[in-house]
């Protein structure tokens, strides 16, 4: 079961140790999905908030997949 995270800071901390981060754009929402060894974590963001987060995610040593 995926676990939903409600703070951007928390999803960024989880992304540092993850194997993959997926960005899913659906209309007026953007979902960030972080795959860790045991769980999948999701965060729902607005498109404006996502632009700043995407810059940070690309700076980490993590594979980022945009769907």
pLDDT of residue 40: 93
Beta strand pairing status for 29-35 and 40-45?
Answer: antiparallel
- How much is the pLDDT for 62? 72
Domain-wise residue ranges, the chain:
3-66
Query: What is the three-class DSSP state of 15?
Result: helix
Residues of the chain with pLDDT under 70: 61
pLDDT (0 to 100) of residue 3? 92
Q: State the pLDDT at residue 41.
A: 94
Record: fold of 3-66: 3.30.720
């Amino acid at each position: 079961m995926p676990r939903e995270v409600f703070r951007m800071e928390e999803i960024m901390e989880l992304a540092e140790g993850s194997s993959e981060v997926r960005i899913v754009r659906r209309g007026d929402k953007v979902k960030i999905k972080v795959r860790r060894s045991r769980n999948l974590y999701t965060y729902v963001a607005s498109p404006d908030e996502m632009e700043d987060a995407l810059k940070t995610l690309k700076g980490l040593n993590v594979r980022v997949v945009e769907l």
